[in-house]
Amino acid sequence: MQVYLFIALVCLIVIAVFVFQNPALVVVQFLGWNSPEIQLGIIVLLAVITGAFLTFMFDTFRYFKIAKTIRELRVSNKRLEKMNKSLEQVRSETMTSTAREEAAAAEENSEV
């Protein structure tokens, strides 16, 4: 986590230096639209902020998708744990009844 913060801080410093070193006025043309003259550094800063926001939104979407999967897996795990517990009870009851039957058969064989 600290590495990511350090990288973000370095990127922020590089962007700030770029903004202050590029005060030239430019016109942005996009799909037939022309912007008024604006500083190149501000355009780059707006592009970086927009990219960071979009990345945050996509990461948030991914996080909610993963959280949903985790919830589903927890529910499935609880259901399987209950099923396992009931099967263990049936197995122990079966083992107990089998042991009783074997003991009774052994008694019958010893009496004969």
Position 90 scores a pLDDT of 87
What is the average pLDDT across 94-101?
78
Q: 26 and 42 in contact (C-beta within 8 Å)?
A: no
Residues 3 and 44 in one domain: yes
> What's the pTM?
0.55
Q: For residue 15, give its domain range.
A: 1-54
Position 79 scores a pLDDT of 95
Number of domains observed in the structure of the chain: 2
What is the average pLDDT across 4-31?
84
Q: What is the mean pLDDT of the chain?
A: 85
The residue that leads in pLDDT, 33 or 77, is 77
Kindly state whether residue 14 falls inside one of the protein's structural domains: yes
Q: 22 and 44 in contact (C-beta within 8 Å)?
A: yes
The residue that leads in pLDDT, 74 or 28, is 74
**Considering only CA atoms, which of 1, 93, 12, 25 is closest in space to residue 52?**
12
Per residue in 41-80, pLDDT tens? Answer: 888 888 888 988 998 898 898 899 999 999 999 999 999 9
Kindly state whether residue 71 falls inside one of the protein's structural domains: no
Can you read off the two tokens belonging to residue 38? Answer: 């604006």
Residues 2 and 48 in one domain: yes
Residues 82 and 35 in one domain: no
Per residue in 74-83, pLDDT tens? Answer: 999 999 999 9
Kindly state whether residue 64 falls inside one of the protein's structural domains: no
Question: Helix or strand or coil: residue 92?
Answer: helix
